[in-house]
Structure 1
Amino acid sequence: MRRIDETAGMPADEPFGIRSAPNQVRTADGTTLFVRDWGEGRPVLFLSGWTLNADMWAYQMEPLSRQGLRCIAYDRRGHGRSSDPGRGYDYDTLADDLAAVLAALDLSDVMLVGHSFASGEIVRYLTRHAARRIGRVVLVSPAAVPYLTRTPDNPVGVDAAVFERLREMLLDDFPGWAETGADAYFVPGTSRPIKDWTVRMMMQTTLQAALALSRIQTATDFRGALAGIAVPTLVVHGDRDASAPLDLTGRPAAALIPGARLAIYEDGPHGLYFTHKERLNRDLLAFAGAVP
């Protein structure tokens, strides 16, 4: 297997990306992505979880941008303030969107930080585009890796019928489903306004995108790709994650990535980027090399 830390340069057909406005990048297929870019210093690019957008990272980007890091995040196609092209909801296109943002901002030595679904985007980017622009990777509450569906060679996975029932509920009442799951996404004592804010963010994602991303997340096998990652990698996972249980995703993913470090957050839920923000911010600063 080709190691995905190559530095020989990007292929001639590196995805087109231009900065079409101060907060916009246009991709090769004409999709416009909303991009937020705060601070100066080593670049950290945040990728959002399933149906979330750049706003979810506010409690990382604001403090870290004051502590020597350039913090960047964008809304995935069909999410938030980005355009709704009605297509491209596959890992190859999403990886190309990430490559377009990196190229448009001319970023290098980037620390990629991805939450939940975005773990798959990051792995596919490294597989598809190599790691010339990437210095480090942080997978926060990964929910797409290594492989979620139960098969004969993946007995710890979840039966595919369970995921189909989930998508039926989304198709029937997406807002109601999101509201019902808000408590388990955080921890007891999390404020009602934070839960409402998160649900509102999810509702800024098209139903088409939500369903398509759910399908590829549960059907894609990243086990072989994880074994080829050769950039320093930190996996952060809570031991009370109801959305992506530690032993299904974070722990086996860290075991498959050579040299990866697993940080387990006690009482950490899926939404630990908010509930455990102080610890996460310290870990991100340290892993970026911004503090001793």
Structure 2
Amino acid sequence: MGYYLRIEPDVNIYVEDVNQKSAKTILFLHGWPANHKLFEYQFNHLPSMGYRCIGMDLRGFGNSDKPSSGYSYDRMADDVRAVIEELHLENVTLAGHSVGGAISIRYMARHNGYGVEKLALFAAAAPSFTKLPDFPYGMTKEDVTKHIQETYEDRPNMLKEFGDLFFFQYVTRSFSDWFFQLGLQAAGWSTASLAASLRDESLFSDLENIQVPTLILHGIHDKVCPFPLAEAQNRGIKNSKLVSFENSGHGLFWEERDKFNQTLAEFIG
């Protein structure tokens, strides 16, 4: 079922909640610039395996409210805390893809992992989405700035070009159109603002504060968040396990969904 949670006086967050009776809960945070529907192929199967799957649309995306501000990692992490508190969640597996992974990491550091028993990162945009003098991986800041400018000038074309980078395996025209529509459901300003956070924020010190078992899943052909980001996460997070996906790009949860779902289920137990 889907419903809204009020996390600020003027901000409501949309949540899709499947199999509420299960004690094993996964809270999914989607990547930029999509929404909870990105995990359709997990919601199709994991509930039948005994898991409660909660998909949260980040503010500015999907069905959630789209305020003009509030797109820093800190604010997004605070939104996650509000959802966990509102739903009285305990012993959750927090699962984040791309920028959702970055927000998950910030949540663990900022809120001391409140309510979270395990962490799962999928093609996470961490510890830095952009190249730095001492971290030569990821996009350049200039490339991200170009995406932001294109968002304000021709957002549909920007989304199409980003979609072309997303998958390693062939996708049908119909699937590509569906994926494109997920991005259009966001607001232009939220798309640009969260991209600015991707460009400007980093999470090196946050990694050191994660104390729960962590699963890192990452496609070796990822052109959005290159595989060295996963290796850096693995080095920086104590008690973490890295599993590579040999036939995936940034969309491993679809490209190798059977392996993805099984690996995640085995990790959660």
Report the TM-score range of the alignment, normalised by the length of the smaller protein. Answer: over 0.9
272-281 vs 166-175, greater mean Cα deviation = 166-175
Taking a change above 3 Å as real, the CA distance of residues 174 and 231 of structure 1, as seen in their structure-2 partners, is same
Deviant stretches of 4+, over 6 Å: none
CA distance in 1, matches of 2:260, 2:209: 26
CA distance in 2, matches of 1:117, 1:82: 17
* 1:86 aligned to which of 55, 68, 71: 68
Question: If the length of structure 2 is used for normalisation, what is the TM-score?
Answer: 0.94
Taking a change above 3 Å as real, the CA distance of residues 116 and 66 of structure 1, as seen in their structure-2 partners, is same
Q: Deviations over 1:212-262 (max 9, x none)?
A: 111111211210110121100011000111111111x21111111112111
Residue 264 of structure 1: aligned partner: 244
Residue 95 of structure 2: aligned partner: 113
Residue 27 of structure 1: aligned partner: 7
Equivalent runs, 1:212-231 vs 2, <5 Å: 212-231=193-212
Instruction: Work out whether residues 113 and 138 of structure 1, in 8 Å CA contact, stay in contact via their aligned partners in 2.
Output: yes
Residue 151 of structure 2: aligned partner: 170
Q: Deviations over 1:21-75 (max 9, x none)?
A: 9611110343111111111230110000011111111110121111111110111
Question: If the length of structure 1 is used for normalisation, what is the TM-score?
Answer: 0.87
Instruction: Work out whether residues 190 and 275 of structure 1, in 8 Å CA contact, stay in contact via their aligned partners in 2.
Output: no
Count, aligned residues:
267
SS at match of 1:63: coil
Residue 124 of structure 1: aligned partner: 106
CA distance in 2, matches of 1:54, 1:152: 34
User: Aligned-pair distance for 1:155?
Assistant: 4.3
Percent identity of equivalent pairs:
30
Point out where structure 2 has 5 or more consecutive residues left out of the alignment: none
Work out whether 1:235 is the aligned partner of 2:216.
yes
Point out where structure 1 has 5 or more consecutive residues left out of the alignment: 1-20
User: Aligned-pair distance for 1:150?
Assistant: 3.5
CA distance in 2, matches of 1:102, 1:195: 32
Instruction: Work out whether residues 94 and 120 of structure 2, in 8 Å CA contact, stay in contact via their aligned partners in 1.
Output: yes
Which amino acid is the alignment partner of residue 248 of structure 2? G
CA distance in 2, matches of 1:79, 1:251: 29
Which amino acid is the alignment partner of residue 243 of structure 2? A
SS at match of 1:45: strand
Residue 67 of structure 1: aligned partner: 49
Instruction: Work out whether residues 13 and 65 of structure 2, in 8 Å CA contact, stay in contact via their aligned partners in 1.
Output: yes
CA distance in 2, matches of 1:258, 1:241: 24
CA distance in 2, matches of 1:157, 1:80: 26
Taking a change above 3 Å as real, the CA distance of residues 56 and 159 of structure 1, as seen in their structure-2 partners, is closer
CA distance in 1, matches of 2:148, 2:23: 41
* 1:133 aligned to which of 108, 112, 115: 115
CA distance in 1, matches of 2:36, 2:131: 32
CA distance in 2, matches of 1:163, 1:132: 32
Instruction: Work out whether residues 248 and 256 of structure 2, in 8 Å CA contact, stay in contact via their aligned partners in 1.
Output: yes
Work out whether 1:46 is the aligned partner of 2:23.
no
Instruction: Work out whether residues 94 and 104 of structure 2, in 8 Å CA contact, stay in contact via their aligned partners in 1.
Output: yes
161-170 vs 192-201, greater mean Cα deviation = 161-170
Taking a change above 3 Å as real, the CA distance of residues 161 and 182 of structure 1, as seen in their structure-2 partners, is closer
Instruction: Work out whether residues 217 and 245 of structure 2, in 8 Å CA contact, stay in contact via their aligned partners in 1.
Output: yes
Instruction: Work out whether residues 43 and 109 of structure 1, in 8 Å CA contact, stay in contact via their aligned partners in 2.
Output: yes
CA distance in 1, matches of 2:52, 2:106: 24
Q: Which has the higher helix share?
A: 2
101-110 vs 178-187, greater mean Cα deviation = 178-187
* 1:202 aligned to which of 183, 188, 192: 183
* 1:251 aligned to which of 231, 234, 237: 231
Instruction: Work out whether residues 31 and 100 of structure 2, in 8 Å CA contact, stay in contact via their aligned partners in 1.
Output: yes
